[in-house]
Amino acid sequence: MKIIAQNKKASHDYFILDRYEAGIKLKGTEIKSIRQGKVSINDAYVNIKNNTVQIINMNISKYDKGNIFNHDETRTRELLLHKKEILKMIVKLKTDGITIIPLKVYLVQGLCKIEIGLAKGKKNYDKREDLKEKDAKMRMDKAFKNIRF
């Protein structure tokens, strides 16, 4: 598995409740740009319309050697999931404050996959608490590293 793009702010801004792996329906030269690492999911979000899951505002840069067959960079792309997974997501989205966000894009055996997560937004005090815990863990690890037995 080769990770191409990762949404690093997702775990800082959201509580990730559930994760799903989905395929992406791509056109033409998009996979070549993805293999070169020219993809960004920082501003992207996922929407469900008519029982189909779509990723909106995912930026895949144009392929350098693509000439007239190049693709639109931020077009809406369909995600490929099982119907049961989509129905589970729809039920969970009915609850208050739940959203679907892309977490990472990666290649598995030449196929492009995206990991999406059901997430609930964090408040500012939750973010500060996470930073405190992370800092305390880092300090403990550093202290244990210096102790010799």
pLDDT in tens, 130-146: 889 999 999 999 888 88
Residue 128 inside a domain? The answer is no
**Identity of residue 110:** G
Residue 94 inside a domain? The answer is yes
Residue 11 inside a domain? The answer is yes
Domain around 97: 2-122
**Identity of residue 92:** K
Residue 138 inside a domain? The answer is no
Residue 58 inside a domain? The answer is yes
Residue 84 inside a domain? The answer is yes
pLDDT of residue 21: 95
- Asked if residue 127 has pLDDT above 90, the reply is no
What CATH number is attached to the domain comprising 104? Answer: 2.40.280.10
Domain count of the chain?
A: 1
What's the CA gap between 25 and 76, in Å, rounded?
Answer: 10
Retrieve residue 131's tokens.
């930073």
